[in-house]
């Protein structure tokens, strides 16, 4: 038995990240139809757009799916109301205090999962009563923790201290890394980057191709003073770096960032001036596939990796 499969009522403990500008209803429904858990990333959606995506997702799948709700979102009350009215079964909250919405959502029968990047936040989320955690290491794309704890270190540290199911995230892009995380004590995984490189992801094709092109060392976690974010090192990143070298203030960094850079990069495909949020694992990705095939491939890799590790390591201790 697997606690994530039971909690979400899905076939596999594979969850797709609710990535802004990349995770609309097409991706979420494709992942859910394949037996994983698809997530609509509501952080980049105006309230009416989220409604539209939930309705379309429900028409496209009869399987459970979720909505990711970043606490930073300006119109969060409207998103919560929509989620309740349209009976979304599962919500992943992130980037904020889990105390604020957990009980309210659960009172409406919604399963609540919170995303954390440290042991401290994991304990806080468990105390707030969430049903499960996404524990995300330094390797992850987009918004991230400040402490730089890697997934390899963070998962066992959190698992030792909490009593709720844990999904590992950050650096997970294959059945091999899924197996590694589960050996460390995770109950399942959340993958973002690999699903960006899917046919159904709403990311711009130029961004998808930039993800495929990126190699080890091509992403960096930056802007810790504002909201830490891992992105591809493009021209915009070079300008951030130059600002740091000049000793720029937080205000100057904020003004350089401006508004809407994530949309510009990931949705409109401006590879020079946009924010290209992706994880380190992008260095391992080399093809765009249908999301359902990704889910199946990851499960096959997982089973194969499990057999291989046993076959290869028959030594005496
Ligand atoms: P639809 O086929 O209904 O609509 C696609 C829409 O996307 C078109 O209206 C088009 O606007 C718009 N669009 C395409 N490229 C861009 C771009 N580079 N910048 C701004 N808008 C663009 O798609 P869906 O049902 O999948 O989506 C419904 C709504 O959700 C749309 O408004 C879409 O933009 C939005 N969406 C938002 C996401 C997010 O993360 N916020 C993710 C996916 C979709 P036009 O007619 O003016 O060309
Ligand atoms: P910016 O402040 O730079 O820009 C806001 C963007 O969000 C614009 O592109 C805007 O679209 C879109 N948007 C959607 N709904 C609203 C709304 N109700 N009010 C204002 N803008 C809205 O933010 P970012 O692009 O960096 O991030 C957007 C959101 O995504 C943030 O609110 C944040 O909560 C969330 N986020 C969450 C992450 C996570 O949880 N891991 C990661 C990154 C961001 P338009 O251009 O069409 O006006």
pLDDT tens for 293-317 read 999 999 999 999 999 999 998 877 6
CA of 44 to the centre of ligand 2 (A): 4
Looking at the fold, whether 94 and 209 belong to one and the same domain comes out as no
Q: Can you give the pTM of this predicted structure?
A: 0.92
Looking at the fold, whether 177 and 252 belong to one and the same domain comes out as no
The pLDDT > 70 percentage for the chain reads 100
Q: CA 196, CA 202: separation in Å to the nearest integer?
A: 8
Nearest to 88 by CA among 129, 38, 126: 38
Work out how many domains the chain is built from and give that number: 2
Residue 119 lies in a domain: yes
Q: What is the mean pLDDT of residues 237-265?
A: 96
Looking at the fold, whether 111 and 241 belong to one and the same domain comes out as no
Looking at the fold, whether 35 and 121 belong to one and the same domain comes out as yes
Residue whose CB lies within 8 A of the most ligand 2 atoms, among 18, 52, 263, 273, for a mutation test: 263
Residue 314: per-residue pLDDT: 84
Residue 7 lies in a domain: no
CB-ligand 2 contact for 295 (6 Å cutoff): no
Looking at the fold, whether 31 and 100 belong to one and the same domain comes out as yes
Please give the sequence-ordered ranges of beta strands (E in DSSP) within the chain, or none if there are none: 14-16, 38-41, 65-70, 90-94, 111-116, 132-136, 142-143, 166-169, 188-191, 219-222, 229-232
Kind of pairing between the strands at 219-222 and 229-232: antiparallel
CB-ligand 1 contact for 267 (6 Å cutoff): yes
Residue 80: per-residue pLDDT: 98
Residue whose CB lies within 8 A of the most ligand 2 atoms, among 20, 170, 268, for a mutation test: 20
Q: How far apart are the first and last CA of the chain?
A: 29
Residue whose CB lies within 8 A of the most ligand 1 atoms, among 82, 196, 202, 208, for a mutation test: 202
Looking at the fold, whether 254 and 156 belong to one and the same domain comes out as no
Question: In this structure, how many other beta carbons lie within 10 angstroms of the beta carbon of residue 237?
Answer: 18
CB-ligand 2 contact for 22 (6 Å cutoff): no
- Write the CB contacts of 231 (distance below 8 Å, at least 6 apart in sequence): 141, 142, 219, 220, 222, 237, 265, 275, 276, 277, 278
The yes-or-no verdict on residue 41 having pLDDT over 80 is: yes
CA of 271 to the centre of ligand 2 (A): 18
The yes-or-no verdict on residue 264 having pLDDT over 80 is: yes
The ligand whose atoms approach the alpha carbon of 25 most closely is 1
The ligand whose atoms approach the alpha carbon of 258 most closely is 2
The ligand whose atoms approach the alpha carbon of 262 most closely is 2
CB-ligand 1 contact for 21 (6 Å cutoff): yes
Kind of pairing between the strands at 229-232 and 142-143: antiparallel
The ligand whose atoms approach the alpha carbon of 231 most closely is 2
Residue 152 lies in a domain: yes
Looking at the fold, whether 43 and 123 belong to one and the same domain comes out as yes
Residue 270 lies in a domain: yes
254 is in which domain, residue-wise?
205-281
Residue 6 lies in a domain: no
Looking at the fold, whether 81 and 220 belong to one and the same domain comes out as no
Query: For all residues of the chain together, what is the average pLDDT?
Result: 97
CA of 120 to the centre of ligand 2 (A): 26
Looking at the fold, whether 53 and 133 belong to one and the same domain comes out as yes
CB-ligand 2 contact for 45 (6 Å cutoff): yes
């Amino acid at each position: 038995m697997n606690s994530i499969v039971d909690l979400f009522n899905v076939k596999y403990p594979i969850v797709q990240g609710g990535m802004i500008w990349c995770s609309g209803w097409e991706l979420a429904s494709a992942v859910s139809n394949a037996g994983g858990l698809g997530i609509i990333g509501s952080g980049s959606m105006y309230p009416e757009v989220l409604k539209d995506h939930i309705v379309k997702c429900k028409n496209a799948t009869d399987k459970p799916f979720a909505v990711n709700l970043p606490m930073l979102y300006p119109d969060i009350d409207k998103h919560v109301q929509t989620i309740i009215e349209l009976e979304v079964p599962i919500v992943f909250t992130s980037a904020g205090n889990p105390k604020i919405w957990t009980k309210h959502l659960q009172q409406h029968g919604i399963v609540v999962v919170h995303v954390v990047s440290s042991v401290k936040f994991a304990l806080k989320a468990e105390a707030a009563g969430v049903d499960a955690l996404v524990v995300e290491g330094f390797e992850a794309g987009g918004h991230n923790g400040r402490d730089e704890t890697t997934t390899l270190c963070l998962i066992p540290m959190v698992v030792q201290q909490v009593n709720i199911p844990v999904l590992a995230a950050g650096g997970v892009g294959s059945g091999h890394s899924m197996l590694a995380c589960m050996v460390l004590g995770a109950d399942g995984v959340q993958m973002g980057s690999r699903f960006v490189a899917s046919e159904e992801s709403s990311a711009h094709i130029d961004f998808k191709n930039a993800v495929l092109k990126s190699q080890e060392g091509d992403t960096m976690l930056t802007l810790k003073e504002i909201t830490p974010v891992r992105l591809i090192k493009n021209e915009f990143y070079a300008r951030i770096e130059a600002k740091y070298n000049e000793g720029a203030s937080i205000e100057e960094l904020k003004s350089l960032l401006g508004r809407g850079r994530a949309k510009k990069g990931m949705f409109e495909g401006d590879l020079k001036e946009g924010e290209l949020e992706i994880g380190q694992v992008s260095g391992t990705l080399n093809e765009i596939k249908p999301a359902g095939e990704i889910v199946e491939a990851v499960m096959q890799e997982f089973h194969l990796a499990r057999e291989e590790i046993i076959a290869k390591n028959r030594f005496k201790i």
